[in-house]
Amino acid sequence: MSTDPTVLLTQRITTAAQRVDFEIEVYGQIKHWPLIALTRNAKFTSDKTKHIYLSSGIHGDEPAGPLTLCQLLKENSLPRHHHYTIFPVLNPAGLLLNTRENSDGCDLNRDYDHPSSEEIRFHTKWIDANIQSIDIGIHLHEDWESAGFYLYEVNFHQHKTYGEAMLKATARHIPTDTATEIDGRPAANGMIRPDHIPEDLDGLPEALYLLKKFNCLNYTLETPSSLPIEKRIRAMKSALMVLL
């Protein structure tokens, strides 16, 4: 039996997902780590049914995202009236090493334009073959420099907004980052809401890749790494339940 904590977490996520009727697909392999995609179609559909895309673990030093998804799957908390595509651990090597980058020093969240990493080549190939549309893309991240929760809302197509409701929900668990500039971007009350794709990017991130490909609403959720992991997970769960 493996003692690799990344392998064990992936196994826990897979087991929890199978118990709540997700299909598991291994879409690539990085050394001894499988890259997994979880999918489940809505049990019943209505005018509220959406295709929800969830990802986490693209930065290996941001563990709250994969742990949040694991808990939600264990608790069977994802509503049955949505379609889901979930990538719970996009950077298994980085997760083991506790590094932002993968084992080759590549920041995977800047590698979506012309991918140089195996992880993102596998990821985009699977998306090209399997996804026709996405309504909401949600990306779970953490920030070691922040003292509170904040989010990016990428909404260039006048979709319904959920940002304020998510910030209200997370404020019950952790503080909101009230800085007027976060990560070099203008911010207000915990929200960064750009109206165009920045020109000073050092590579294309996952959220903007999905925006370009699907014209979907995108949220990147950021919890502060300095707070206890349990609080960060509770905050992420509360934000996600607003969206779901």
For 17-76, how does the pLDDT look when each residue is reduced to its tens digit (9 = 90+)? 999 999 999 999 999 999 999 999 998 888 889 999 999 999 999 999 999 999 999 999
Average pLDDT on 91-114 reads 97
What CATH number should be reported for the domain whose range is 5-243? 3.40.630.10
Cα gap 198→54, rounded to integer Å: 23
Determine the pLDDT at residue 1: 60
Can you give the residue ranges of every domain in the chain? 5-243
Do the Cβ atoms of 76 and 39 come closer than 8 Å?
A: no
Q: What is the pLDDT of residues 111-152, one digit of tens each?
A: 999 999 999 999 999 999 999 999 999 999 999 999 899 999
pLDDT surpassing 80 at residue 181: yes
Do the Cβ atoms of 194 and 207 come closer than 8 Å?
A: no
Report the chain's C-alpha Rg in angstroms: 17
pTM beyond cutoff 0.85: yes
Average pLDDT on 181-197 reads 93
Cα gap 242→240, rounded to integer Å: 5
Average pLDDT on 96-107 reads 97
Phi, psi of 166 (to 5 degrees): -65, -40
**Residue type at 27?**
Y
pLDDT surpassing 70 at residue 230: yes
Mean of pLDDT over the chain? 96
Cα gap 49→4, rounded to integer Å: 38
Do the Cβ atoms of 183 and 192 come closer than 8 Å?
A: yes
Do the Cβ atoms of 87 and 119 come closer than 8 Å?
A: no
Mean pLDDT check: name the lowest of 124-138, 172-186, 188-202, 228-242. Answer: 188-202
Determine the pLDDT at residue 31: 94
CA atoms within 13 A on the CB side of 239: 35
Provide, rounded to the nearest whole percent, the portion of the chain with pLDDT above 90. 89
- Number of DSSP helices (H) and strands (E) in the chain, helices first: 7, 10
Cα gap 229→17, rounded to integer Å: 22
pLDDT surpassing 90 at residue 157: no
DSSP letters of 25-73? EEEEEETTEEEEEEEE--SS--TT--EEEEEE-SSTT-THHHHHHHHHH
